[in-house]
Structure 1
Amino acid sequence: MRLMIFSDIHGNLEALQSVLDDAAKRNVHRSICLGDLVGYGPYPNECIRLVRGLKNCRVLAGNHDLAALWETSPYGMSSVAKEVILWTMEQLSEENKKYLAALPDRLDLADMTFVHANPYNPRGWRYVMDRKYALRSFGATSCRLLYIGHSHQPLVITRKHLLAVTLQTVPGNMQFELADSRRCIINCGSVGQPRDGDPRSCYLIYDSREEKLEFYRVAYDVEKTVQADLDAGLPSVLGRRLCKGT
């Protein structure tokens, strides 16, 4: 099986379509979206509709998705994130609100676990980017492979034995072999708002037959999204961040 994992679309329709077009050329059988379909970007309804229409795709809830429903308070977010969430609340159709409200927090599939942020407190929204939270995450599931999003930065964290944890960032297109028995936490990066200095969208494919991870970066029309942000009256800082990948 070739499984596509993607996350953090954040209302960026241009980025989402480019990623889906790229994945369509790579013999993907199934896909899982780790949440945050909305927030930051100007196309919340369009992105939800596009993801809803995908075949063989499971979708989880992210913190921005739940904030847009008041299930998580937007007032705990940054001022820019809060402003866009309040705007998003006014844009969402009733049908799409119901869709977001029905999304689960966690998915367990074979020897894999999927969450938006972390498995030990899915709605606590802690970032798993260091040894402390990696160990907590390993302890919250017995799976071999744990897939996460939320930080917008592609990352592979391996655990050889109880306390030996290795963190490796993923620059550009890369492949990782998973032939040994090490447990891994894998962050698939962000489709709609990368924050690792590379403005291209990021997603990954897990090939279960060859036991490898394939990370892909995909260019899209950033300027079109920047202009759409401005046309919608959203903060101009969003466009600057998209251009820089920060």
Structure 2
Amino acid sequence: MKLALISDLHANREAFSAVLDHARINGAQEFALLGDLVGYGGDPAWVVDQVRELVSQGAIAVMGNHDSAIVTGPLPSMRDDARDAILWTRAQLDAAQLDFLAGLPMHHERDDCLFVHANAFDPAGYEYIQGRLEAMRSLHATHCRYTFCGHMHDPRLYHLSGTGKAGEFVPSPGVDIPLLPNRQWLVIPGSCGQPRDGNPAACYALFDMATGLLSFQRVPYDVDAAAARVRQSGLNAAVAERLAQRLLLGE
């Protein structure tokens, strides 16, 4: 059974559509949405509805910091553009869509897998896994063999051996990586809706639960159309232009 791991969609309809199509073509049978469904992008209602439909079919979805901010209000730590996007996004969603976001769990466990947006040691604190130190802290905080999380928009892979030896890896797209059963693993698939490594192509990962093979994927999509949706969204023009440029540049 292949599981598609998709995180940080950020209301990007074009990117999410392309990733769903790519995942299904490549054999994905189940989906895990690792938070930040909304924020920044121009199609929050469409993205939330698509995730709701996937969840009704058995998909896993967890809450991200932008999803939480839609429900409770922008966090004090949020930058001005993110804050403006949150306030605009909330006005685009109806009561049922807001209720869905409010009901998302902070984490989900299934079959020796932990699904969480930011980390395992403090899911509601949304601390970033910026390197090996935070990754090991997260792995030590869970008994699960596999942790799948987002929040960091760049793809990364970390592992912890039974003897306490830690490792990290910057993956190459499309390469199968065997996740050896004698280690714990932390997988960050990267951002579907707003990659930040200079490459605008959407990120996600595929995990074959039967074989233990993981592959990180990059999916080109119509980034010009996604940027145009942001520009036409009704957001403050200066904010919209900055957010559109970030999509185009992969920042």
- Cα distance in structure 1, aligned partners of 2:116 and 2:94: 25
Matched, 1:41 2:41: yes
Point out the more displaced range, 99-108 or 132-141.
132-141
Q: Is 1:158–2:166 an aligned residue pair? A: no
Give per-residue Cα distances to partners, 1:41-76, cap 9 Å, x unaligned: 011111001111122211111100010111x63332
CA distance, structure 1, for counterparts of residue 117 and residue 163 of structure 2: 24
Other-structure match for 1:14:
14
User: Which residue type is aligned with residue 160 of structure 2?
Assistant: R
Q: Deviations over 1:54-101 (max 9, x none)?
A: 22211111100010111x633321111111001111111111000001
After superposition, give the CA deviation of every residue in 1:183-208 in whole Å (9 maximum; x if it has no partner): 11100111100112221111111102
**Do residues 146 (structure 1) and 147 (structure 2) align?**
yes
TM-score of the superposed pair, with normalisation by structure 1: 0.95
Which residue of structure 2 aligns with residue 101 of structure 1?
A: 102
Aligned partners of 2:173 and 2:215 also within 8 Å: no
| Matching of residues 1-246 of structure 1 within 5 Å | 1-54=1-54, 55-70=57-72, 73-234=74-235, 235=239, 236-246=241-251
Identical aligned residues as a percent: 36
C-alpha distance in structure 2 between counterparts of 1:82 and 1:45, whole Å = 18
Larger deviation: 231-240 or 207-216? 231-240
1 CA distance for matches of 2:165 and 2:198?
28
Letter in 2 for 1:98: D
- Dislocated runs of 4+, deviation >4 Å: none
Q: Offset at 1:162?
A: 5.0
Unaligned ranges ≥5, structure 2: none
Write the deviation string for residues 113-170 of structure 1: whole angstroms up to 9, x where unpaired.
Answer: 1100011111111111212211210121011111110011110001124542212112
Contact 2:121-2:141 within 8 A present in 1 as well: yes
Q: After TM superposition, give the deviation of residue 175 of structure 1 in Å.
A: 2.0
- How far apart are the structure 1 equivalents of 2:98 and 2:163? 42
For 1:96 and 1:162, locate their aligned partners in 2 and report how far apart those are by CA, in whole Å: 46
Query: 1:29 corresponds to which letter in structure 2?
Result: Q
Bigger fraction of residues in helix: 2
Of 140-149 and 228-237, the range deviating more from structure 2: 228-237
Query: What is the TM-score normalised by the length of structure 2?
Result: 0.93
Answer yes or no: is the 8 Å Cα contact 1:74–1:85 preserved in 2: no
2: distance between equivalents of 1:228 and 1:29?
30
